[in-house]
């Protein structure tokens, strides 16, 4: 945040440090303007008010992971205030998507500020080791209003927020890599009570689903405690994911007096000069993208949501659908065959062996009747395995749809002659027999015959 | 000229010889080394000296550079790569700076050779250098007296010809006051004129590094090398640096000097008052106009300073915790005890006093009454000066209300010590520039001559004018030519100025 050290996950301990992030005597902080821009960008994406004048403050407390024993943070003039995170169905956990209490909810925010991260402590058997690589990494703190009403909503809040951060290229927001961290404040109260219960903070969750588990546990623990007549006090608890339990870390009595005061080593920040540049970087947000996919490509609301849920998937779809005759089919291929093939191969969309253009070509072959849907599945598998184009596979394997009516007439005649019983059934009024006969013709053509044409010709022959 | 005459030269004279290759950087260093060996045991100006490293630099020195081959002493609060940087504190006794402060880098780039670190009050907190955890520095004019502080080592070294010039830092008067008490020139640049990167922070919004020299023109020479923007210090101003020697020698016609009525206070030694009055009369004879001005918030300056500077210090000094470097208490049982004992053992009483004071004024419940209010007063003090500088080019006052006082006299009473900074402290609150230069002597009962310093304060970034006015005074008086008795046996060569 205030030095030029690289940020790299998994680097050798203390390999990315300098006098400033080690807090050596005499070293001074220098503002990271890109971090300022990304925070303002996040503020704009979330509809926050951007402070025209913002400043940094020193937050004092002693801990070995704090190189200076004060953290440069923002106290009374944060970069962003207000704003909200819009939730959407797919942001909820899968098992909770059917019973969302308040669809289209927006969780209001209090503020977003910027600060420097602290180092990482490793508690060994007899001592503690400290890795200062992380010390000084820019850290954006987003504080929501206490208006999240269930662990599932908290899950949706984090998922939707993460999605927006990825959309803005602000962060990869991977909780397991510590790129997104979350402290939850949770309280319970009797249904009739207006004021909030005692605020209990939970730390140490390293995935969004762990946040949900920790909160579910806490709701139960606090509710039971109140039911037993206990009085809950403000405290900080840790989450033990293995044990599935929270444990007490500290009570309010040990709360710090941080003695905030304006950081004299930095000058206040005027955001006006940043705003124009940041506005130019504003991306289309998930909600707008979903709406546009429905509007522009005619995909279903649900499909649009699934596509827009993953920025890389949305980009893939858009690239394939742009020139497509039937973008809806492109969407179907992506959401069904491509997604499951990727899942089966354990690959991400960014690592897909089929390019958007290649997928579009495949869909065009189907739409123009060159190959059948069944053939297309075969071609798709081959494309995914070899990376070859659909046209190349079709010509290599001689896969081509049989569209010649004369040839199909002959095939139909053969099948009618070989299946007197189903033919009699059909003529007796059992229309379901037609499907059986149609299947026989396709089988005889080794799957090459155009199914629509086969159905048409068969019906005509049977009725004469 | 013999080698033993060299240390008595000022920087301009030395540069003259070096530039004409009449003397080598190595010969200069060796002469200085023997001078220090002879005199430093009597004054204790230095904490560490690395002549071997300096000789290596001397061998490479480019004598065509503005300061090529000039050895410079550095206050031990400024980082010089590879050298100790202890701030005269036990807590940093074994710490060596792994990097150069920007001012040191700039001085080196101009050819100067930093060779040793000078004594000081621990973390620059004090006005007598008695708060050094190592030893007090003695005044070359009377070794039973202090050399001032906190840059007392730098001032004494220059006064005793044990340095050609030195760097100090000034947070509340720490360059000007020891310069005054030791009879040398001390220059405090405007806040933001010189980079603070590499200065161990005492009070970040007050600290400035500056030169202590034998003459005003030497101060200008060093400022030419030190001043200017530094991307590593966000508070360092991105303003063009003029040639500070360009205006030296201009007369004082049209210059208006202000006398602040608030500075006519009781408690100023009559000999100091007489010397400053005489200096004012002398300025008039040089053509300057004397104007009465008012700095109405002066009486709050010391209190305001001790709230704001200690608040900043309490955070700045938090990093000395024995976790990454410096003194670490042994056999501690837990983290709390580690912090407590490390800092209890590592810091001296004055530093502890200021950390406690600073922590208190920032504490929840007291912040508004002390810190927030002091910030407002600081702004009023700033406005006082801004108004004064609409009327005058510089303000004239004593630097210190008293000449050098005996060792031990004031160290028992911190409040008395704080009042020693009464004329200097407001300049740091306002971020303006100032200089102290010799303007007379006070004779003690036992016959010692104690230097008296004249302070000139100028508007922010008006360094060139302050140096011009100071230079005109200096060059028309003889005060700066007087040498302390300790160096009387050294023959001073004829000046070339």
What is the value of pTM for the model shown?
A: 0.89
Flag whether B116 is in a domain. Answer: yes
DSSP B313-328: HHHHGGG-SSSSSS--
User: What percent of chain B lies above the pLDDT cut of 90?
Assistant: 91
Kindly state the average pLDDT of the residues B423-432.
97
Flag whether B380 is in a domain. Answer: yes
pLDDT digits (tens, 9 = 90+) for B309-365: 999 999 999 999 999 999 999 999 999 999 999 999 999 999 999 999 999 999 999
**CATH number, residue B458:** 3.90.1300.10
- B318 vs B420, higher pLDDT: B318
* Residue B323 Cα, gap to closest chain A Cα (Å): 7
Q: Please check whether residue A126 touches B, CB under 8 A.
A: no
Q: Is A84 exposed, middle or buried (0-12, 13-18, 19+ CB in 10 A)?
A: middle
Give A-chain residues touching B319 at CB under 8 angstroms: 23, 25, 67-69
Q: How many other CB atoms sit within 10 Å of the CB of residue B269?
A: 17
CA nearest to B37, candidates B116, B129, B121, B131: B116
Flag whether B21 is in a domain. Answer: yes
Kindly state the average pLDDT of the residues B127-151.
97
Kindly state the average pLDDT of the residues B146-173.
97
A39-48, A317-326, B110-119, B293-302: segment of lowest average pLDDT: A317-326
Quickly state the pLDDT bin for A383 (edges 50, 70, 90).
confident
User: What percent of chain A lies above the pLDDT cut of 90?
Assistant: 59
pLDDT at A8 (0 to 100): 83
Q: Please check whether residue A422 touches B, CB under 8 A.
A: no
Q: What are phi and psi of B384, to 5 degrees?
A: -55, -50
B144 annotated active-site: no
Catalytic, out of B48, B79, B89, B150? B150
Q: Please check whether residue B232 touches A, CB under 8 A.
A: yes
Q: Please check whether residue A276 touches B, CB under 8 A.
A: no
CA nearest to A154, candidates A233, A212, A76: A212
CA nearest to B150, candidates B224, B92, B208: B208
Catalytic, out of B79, B133, B174, B180? B174
Q: Going by C-beta distance under 8 Å and a sequence separation of 6 or more, which residues neighbour residue A349?
A: A310, A312, A313, A316, A342
Residue B271 and residue B299: Cα distance in Å, rounded?
A: 23
Q: How many other CB atoms sit within 10 Å of the CB of residue A305?
A: 20
Domain count, chain B: 1
Kindly state the average pLDDT of the residues A313-324.
89
B150 annotated active-site: yes
Residue A32 and residue B57: Cα distance in Å, rounded?
A: 36
Q: How many residues does chain B have?
A: 497
Measured between alpha carbons, how far apart are the two ends of chain A, in Å?
83
pLDDT at B492 (0 to 100): 44
Flag whether B64 is in a domain. Answer: yes
Which of B315, B324, B325 shows the shortest C-beta gap to A70? B315
pLDDT at B494 (0 to 100): 44
pLDDT digits (tens, 9 = 90+) for B201-259: 999 999 999 999 999 999 999 999 999 999 999 999 999 999 999 999 999 999 999 99
Asked if the Cβ–Cβ distance from A259 to B367 is below 8 Å, we say yes
- Would the pLDDT of A369 be above 80? no
Q: For chain B, give the mean pLDDT.
A: 95
Asked if the Cβ–Cβ distance from B324 to A257 is below 8 Å, we say no
Asked if the Cβ–Cβ distance from B339 to A62 is below 8 Å, we say yes
Task: Tell me if residue B369 falls in helix, strand or coil.
Answer: helix
Q: Please check whether residue B321 touches A, CB under 8 A.
A: yes
> What structural domains does chain A harbor?
33-170+253-279 (no CATH), 286-397 (no CATH), 405-462 (1.10.10.410)
Kindly state the average pLDDT of the residues B114-122.
98
Residue of A nearest to B203 (CA): A264
CA nearest to A374, candidates A437, A448, A445: A448
Identify the sign of the CA torsion B81, B84, B87, B91. positive
Flag whether B334 is in a domain. Answer: no
Kindly state the average pLDDT of the residues A231-243.
94
Quickly state the pLDDT bin for A362 (edges 50, 70, 90).
confident
Q: Going by C-beta distance under 8 Å and a sequence separation of 6 or more, which residues neighbour residue B383?
A: none
Task: Tell me if residue B86 falls in helix, strand or coil.
Answer: coil
Asked if the Cβ–Cβ distance from A70 to B232 is below 8 Å, we say no
User: What percent of chain B lies above the pLDDT cut of 70?
Assistant: 98
Kindly state the average pLDDT of the residues A73-79.
97
Flag whether B490 is in a domain. Answer: no
Give B-chain residues touching A62 at CB under 8 angstroms: 318, 321, 339
- Let me know the angle formed at the C-alpha of B336 by B332 and B338, rounded to the nearest 5 degrees: 35
Buried b (16+ CB within 10 A) or exposed e, B73-85: bbbbbbbbbebbb
Kindly state the average pLDDT of the residues A160-175.
94
pLDDT at B250 (0 to 100): 94
Which of A28, A30, A69 shows the shortest C-beta gap to B319? A69
Asked if the Cβ–Cβ distance from B335 to A64 is below 8 Å, we say yes
What would you measure as the largest C-alpha separation in chain B, in angstroms?
Answer: 70
Is the peptide bond prior to B190 cis by the omega test (within 30 degrees of 0)?
no
B217 annotated active-site: no
pLDDT at A460 (0 to 100): 86
- B69 vs A416, higher pLDDT: B69
Quickly state the pLDDT bin for B491 (edges 50, 70, 90).
very low
Task: Tell me if residue B209 falls in helix, strand or coil.
Answer: strand
Flag whether B335 is in a domain. Answer: no
Asked if the Cβ–Cβ distance from B95 to A25 is below 8 Å, we say yes
- Would the pLDDT of B463 be above 90? yes
Flag whether B495 is in a domain. Answer: no
Pairing of strands B185-188, B208-213: antiparallel
* Residue B150 Cα, gap to closest chain A Cα (Å): 17
Give B-chain residues touching A26 at CB under 8 angstroms: 78-79, 85, 97, 101, 197-201
Residue A5 and residue A22: Cα distance in Å, rounded?
A: 11
Q: How many residues does chain A have?
A: 464
Q: H-helix or E-strand containing B455? A: strand B449-458
pLDDT at A254 (0 to 100): 65
Mutate to test the interface with A, among B89, B204, B315, B376 (most CBs of A within 10 A): B315
pLDDT at B488 (0 to 100): 64
Q: For chain A, give the mean pLDDT.
A: 90
pLDDT digits (tens, 9 = 90+) for A190-220: 888 989 999 999 998 999 999 999 999 999 9
> In which region does residue B374 sit, left (phi positive, over 0), alpha (psi from -120 to 50) or beta (all else)?
alpha
The domain in which residue B385 lies consists of 3-298+376-481
CA nearest to A394, candidates A367, A361, A356, A434: A361
- Would the pLDDT of B496 be above 50? no
DSSP 8-state code for residue B227: B
């Amino acid at each position: 945040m205030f030095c030029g050290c690289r940020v790299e996950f998994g680097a050798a301990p203390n390999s990315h440090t300098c006098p400033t992030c080690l807090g050596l005597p005499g070293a001074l902080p220098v503002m990271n303007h890109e971090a300022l821009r990304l925070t303002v960008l996040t503020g704009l994406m979330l509809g926050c008010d951007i402070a025209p004048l913002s400043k940094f403050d020193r937050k004092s407390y002693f801990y070995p992971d704090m190189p200076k024993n004060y953290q440069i943070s923002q106290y009374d003039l944060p970069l962003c205030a207000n704003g909200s995170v819009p939730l959407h169905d797919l942001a909820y956990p899968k098992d909770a998507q059917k019973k969302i209490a308040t669809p289209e909810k927006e969780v209001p925010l209090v503020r977003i500020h910027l600060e420097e991260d602290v180092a990482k402590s490793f508690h060994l058997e007899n001592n503690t080791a400290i890795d200062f690589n992380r010390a000084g990494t820019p850290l954006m703190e987003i504080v929501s209003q206490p208006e999240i009403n269930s662990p599932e909503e908290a899950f949706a809040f984090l998922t939707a927020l993460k999605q927006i951060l990825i959309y803005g290229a602000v962060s990869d927001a991977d909780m397991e890599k510590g790129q997104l961290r979350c402290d939850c404040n949770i309280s319970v109260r009797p249904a009739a009570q207006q004021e909030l219960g005692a605020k209990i903070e939970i730390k140490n969750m390293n995935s969004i689903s762990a946040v949900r588990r920790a909160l579910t546990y806490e709701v139960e623990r606090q509710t039971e405690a109140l039911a037993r007549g206990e009085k809950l006090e403000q405290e900080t608890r840790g989450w033990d994911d293995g044990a599935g339990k929270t444990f007490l870390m500290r009570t309010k009595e040990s709360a710090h007096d941080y003695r905030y005061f304006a950081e004299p080593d930095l000058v206040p920040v005027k955001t006006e000069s940043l705003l124009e540049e940041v506005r130019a970087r504003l991306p289309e947000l998930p909600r707008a993208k979903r709406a546009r996919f429905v509007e522009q490509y005619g995909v279903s609301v649900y499909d649009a949501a699934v596509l827009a849920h993953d920025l890389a998937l949305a980009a893939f779809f858009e690239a394939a659908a742009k020139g497509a005759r039937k973008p809806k089919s492109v969407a179907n291929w992506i959401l069904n065959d491509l997604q499951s093939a990727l899942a089966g191969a354990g690959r991400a969309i960014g690592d897909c062996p089929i390019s958007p253009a290649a997928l579009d070509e495949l869909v065009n072959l189907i739409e123009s009747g060159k190959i059948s849907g069944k053939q297309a599945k075969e071609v798709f598998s081959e494309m995914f395995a070899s990376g070859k184009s659909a046209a190349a596979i079709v010509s290599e394997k001689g896969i081509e749809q049989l569209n010649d009516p004369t040839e199909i007439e002959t095939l139909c005649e053969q099948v009618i002659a070989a299946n007197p019983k189903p033919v009699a059934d059909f003529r007796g009024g059992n229309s379901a027999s037609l499907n059986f006969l149609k299947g026989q013709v396709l089988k005889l053509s080794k799957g090459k015959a155009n199914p629509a044409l086969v159905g048409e010709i068969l019906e005509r022959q049977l009725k004469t | 000229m013999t080698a033993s005459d060299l240390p008595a030269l000022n920087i301009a004279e030395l540069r003259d010889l070096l530039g004409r290759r009449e003397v080598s950087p190595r010969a200069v260093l060796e002469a200085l080394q023997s001078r220090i060996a002879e005199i430093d045991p009597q004054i204790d100006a230095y904490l560490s000296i690395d002549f071997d490293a300096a000789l290596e630099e001397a061998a490479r020195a480019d004598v065509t550079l503005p300061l090529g081959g000039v050895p410079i002493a550095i206050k031990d609060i400024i980082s010089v790569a590879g050298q100790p940087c202890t701030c005269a504190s036990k807590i940093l006794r074994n710490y060596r700076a792994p990097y150069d402060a920007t001012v040191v880098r700039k001085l080196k780039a101009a050819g100067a050779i930093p060779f040793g670190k000078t004594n000081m009050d621990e973390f620059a907190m004090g006005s007598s250098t008695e708060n050094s955890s190592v030893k007090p520095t003695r005044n070359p004019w009377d070794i039973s007296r202090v050399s001032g502080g906190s840059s007392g080592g730098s001032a004494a070294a220059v006064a005793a010809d044990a340095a050609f010039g030195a760097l100090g830092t000034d947070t509340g008067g720490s360059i000007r006051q020891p310069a005054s008490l030791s009879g040398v020139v001390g220059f405090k640049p405007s806040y933001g004129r010189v980079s603070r990167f590499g200065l161990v922070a005492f009070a970040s919004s007050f600290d400035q590094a500056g030169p202590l020299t034998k003459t005003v023109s030497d101060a200008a020479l060093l400022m030419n090398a030190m001043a200017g923007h530094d991307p590593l210090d966000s508070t360092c101003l991105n303003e063009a640096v003029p040639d500070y020697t360009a205006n030296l020698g201009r007369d004082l016609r049209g210059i208006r000097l202000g006398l602040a009525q608030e500075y006519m206070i009781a408690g100023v030694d009559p000999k100091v008052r007489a010397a400053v009055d005489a200096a004012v009369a002398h300025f008039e004879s040089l053509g300057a106009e004397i104007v009465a001005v008012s700095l109405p918030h002066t009486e709050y300056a010391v209190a305001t300073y001790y709230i704001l500077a200690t608040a900043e210090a309490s955070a700045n000094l938090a990093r000395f915790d024995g976790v990454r470097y410096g003194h670490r208490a042994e056999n501690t049982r837990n983290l709390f005890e580690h912090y407590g004992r490390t800092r209890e053992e590592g810091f001296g009483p004055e530093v502890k006093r200021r950390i406690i004071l600073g922590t208190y004024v920032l504490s929840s419940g007291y912040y508004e009454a002390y810190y927030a209010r002091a910030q407002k007063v600081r702004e009023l003090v700033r406005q006082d000066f801004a108004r004064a500088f609409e009327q005058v080019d510089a303000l004239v006052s004593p630097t210190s209300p008293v000449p050098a006082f005996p060792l031990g006299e004031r160290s028992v009473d911190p409040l008395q010590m704080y009042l020693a900074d009464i004329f200097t402290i407001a300049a740091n609150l306002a971020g303006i520039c100032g200089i102290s230069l010799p303007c007379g002597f006070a004779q003690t009962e036992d016959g010692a001559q104690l230097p008296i310093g004249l302070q000139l304060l100028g508007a922010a970034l008006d360094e060139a004018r302050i140096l011009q006015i100071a230079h005109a005074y200096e060059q028309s008086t003889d005060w700066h030519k007087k040498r302390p008795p300790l160096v009387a046996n050294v023959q001073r060569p004829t000046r070339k100025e």
